[in-house]
Structure 1
Amino acid sequence: MSSQQTDRPRAIFLDIDGTYADHGLAPAAHVEAVQEVRRRGHLVFVCTGRPLSMVPDHILEAGFDGVITGAGARVEMNGEVLKDTRFEPDVAALIVDTLDAHDVAYILEAPEALRGRTGVGERLRRVLAPVFAGRSGHDGVLSTDVDPVEDILGPVQYSDDLRGASFAKISCFDSPVPLTRLMGGLGPQVGLIPSSLSALGDSAGEIFMAGTHKAVGIRVVEERLGLNRADIVAIGDSANDIEMLEYAGVGIAVEDGHPGVLAVADRLTPGPAGNGVALAFAGLGLLD
């Protein structure tokens, strides 16, 4: 990392949840800031842990130069898919069998769809509703008419048999046993990070392909466009943002973010309710 400044165009990679938007809602100041820095010749990319199937159209309508989803598993620019990695079929089947054997409530994440087992939707709603209780206020900056539970579960397709599903990541929301206990039986190709919903504790987490993270997706863009790493800016708040902030020339953490993100950041900025992305752009001189 470095906080070195440059007059060359920047390439900015933005996490969505807790950074650019709150439960799928972006403040107008963030939309305007993205559009303005792009008018000034900089590049702006979405870089999210969400699969493409869970990124709302109204987020993308702000206009971006590319989209990295699945925490680095998929990279798309100008309609061209540059990377789309999934779990190998035998590993995917082992994960599904293990989670089902331990009665874990989970969602399989792929670019084309979110998938869950038939009947898990109501269980997930019961688990998630208390997490978001009382979160109706956004200090007047963000709209409050989107249900954050439906933001997560609305796109899910349900099926009785998920063993043949293709996916890049799994979000687990309710496990009767700590997920860390299940990891040993899944092999070295599989990793686990804490859920961004910290209130769920060790009963929740995200299972991902080991070696796949947001910086991997950024490197694909960097190589395609011939970017200078010193000109890369990354802004994020969660555990899955650590690698991209470490990799970026300038790493900016949301000020109430995960401790690991705060530890590697060059700068801090407020969350969406405080228009933090716009303030970060201004602090870098990108809006002057």
Structure 2
Amino acid sequence: MKTGTLTTPDAEIYYEVRGSGPPLLLVNGGDGDAAMFGPLAGRLAEDFTVITYDLRGNSRSRLTSPPREQWIEEHGDDARLLLDTVAAGEPAYVFGTSYGGMIGMALLARNPGRVRALVAHEPFVIDLLPDADRWHALFQEVYELYEREGTDAAMGRFCGEIGVDAPPAPEAAGSVPEPVREMLARIRANVGTCLAYELRSFVRFRPDAGALRAARFTIVIGGEGPKTLLHRTTQALAEHVGTGTGVTEFPGGHVGFLTHPAPFAAALRAAIGDC
């Protein structure tokens, strides 16, 4: 594995590159860390040049300007600059989970020639829901709770409302390898960035349906576990894009790429080939 740092406006982006072949960019969601894609990337590196990275302001991608509210579109620009650097302008396959799927959509809409195919996994497109105003108000409450009581209280409320598990604290992870413990510590530190500067603005993103209809685009969802708010947003995206766009089930739940890396890699290969 090779690592590097890319200088972009207001940030230095940490990235990792594995394997050889056509470029495949994997984009994390909130609180995400490139190491979460490690097991999946290792399997995909047999066929692709797999690019993973920490989103700006998260983990090892430090901000070079004072923290401020962030937007999906500027993260899409980070992804384009990363492809310029690593893939030398070659069109890339892109997989994004949660916010990452939305970042992939922004990248595609602004740079359609740079994306060979896009797979969006459980994108958090809240603004497409008929009750979006209720969720926007809730996320403002979550932010205010964070300001008053800290990350644990805010994440407990947030995760309980949307139906997903919060990431475990490093001290609660039991006997795990040190790199995993380090990853969990980085993710825990990312929570403040997510709650203060990402959540409320990211969920205002509305995908360009025309750009998605014109592209090789697949929408996927975790097929196991309880139904969550992400299931609703994923279906809402399919309806937004229209023209018979369906939703494909992938192994595992919201983090199936981490919990089921081998079958998830097989499903992603198939989706890339089919979309």
Higher relative contact order (CA 8 A, sep 6+): 1
Larger helix proportion of the pair: 2
Fold shared, TM-score > 0.5 on shorter chain: no
Q: Report the TM-score when normalising by structure 2.
A: 0.39
Pick the structure with greater CA Rg: 1
Larger strand proportion of the pair: 1
Q: Report the TM-score when normalising by structure 1.
A: 0.37
